């Protein structure tokens, strides 16, 4: 596997994470109390992971450019 392929795998993971974030946001709209707090924490972690995946994917794609 070369860096471009690895970059694509990271991008695909990021795409799946976006779908998961959309699901969390939908659940959050109707959540209250502890459930809402847990979903907010999960959303924050997932957003950070998404940012990291996208940065790493971009870095790997541009490594040989």
Distance of CA 28 to the CA centre of its chain: 17
pLDDT digits (tens, 9 = 90+) for 4-60: 899 999 999 999 999 999 999 999 999 999 999 999 999 999 999 999 999 999 999
Answer yes or no: pTM beyond 0.95.
no
Domain residue limits, the chain: 3-60
- Cα–Cα–Cα angle for 37, 39, 40, rounded to 5 degrees: 65
pLDDT in tens, 42-54: 999 999 999 999 9
Contact predicate 53/14, CB 8 Å: yes
How many angstroms separate the CA atoms of 50 and 19, rounded? 11
Within 10 Å of residue 58's Cβ, how many Cβ atoms?
13
Other CB atoms within 10 A of residue 12 CB: 12
């Amino acid at each position: 596997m070369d860096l471009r392929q690895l970059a694509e795998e990271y991008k695909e993971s990021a795409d799946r994470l976006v779908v998961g974030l959309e699901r969390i946001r939908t659940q959050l709209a109707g959540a209250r109390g502890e459930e809402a707090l847990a979903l907010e924490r999960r959303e924050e972690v997932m957003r950070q992971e998404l940012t990291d995946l996208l940065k790493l994917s971009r870095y790997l794609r541009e490594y040989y450019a």
